[in-house]
Amino acid sequence: MAEDIAEAVEHLVRGIVAEPDAVTVRVDNGRRGTTFRVSVSPADQGRVIGRRGRTASALRTVVTAIGGKSYRVEIAD
């Protein structure tokens, strides 16, 4: 299931950014759950985070709705 969610996250983020080829989603399984680490080009980082973090928050809400609270999303620096 984590692979399907990772594909969905990648698809959503590619639709937001100007450089979709630079988007990568890494899946890390830890003791607190599964974390999806999203990396984008530095120029697109502001687009993914959004004004006051609204886009990142919406992305986290979608992932929680799909998979539950054991899934987290982090935007890599």
Helix segments in the chain, DSSP class H: 2-16, 45-49, 54-67
Confidence of residue 49 (pLDDT cuts 50, 70, 90): very high
**Residue 29 belongs to what domain range?**
1-75
Look at the chain and report how many structural domains it folds into: 1
Rounded to 10 degrees, the C-alpha dihedral 60/2/67/26 comes to -10
> Mean pLDDT, to the nearest integer, of 54-63?
96
> Mean pLDDT, to the nearest integer, of 27-53?
95
Cα–Cα distances in angstroms (integers) from residue 19 to residues 10, 33, 46, 48, 53, in the given order: 12, 29, 13, 12, 20
**41, 22 contact by CB (below 8 A):** yes
* Helix (H) or strand (E) run with residue 71 in it: strand 71-75
Q: What is the CATH number of the domain that holds 3?
A: 3.30.300.20
Question: What mean pLDDT is reported for the chain?
Answer: 95
Rounded to two decimals, the pTM is 0.91
Percent of the chain with pLDDT over 90: 91
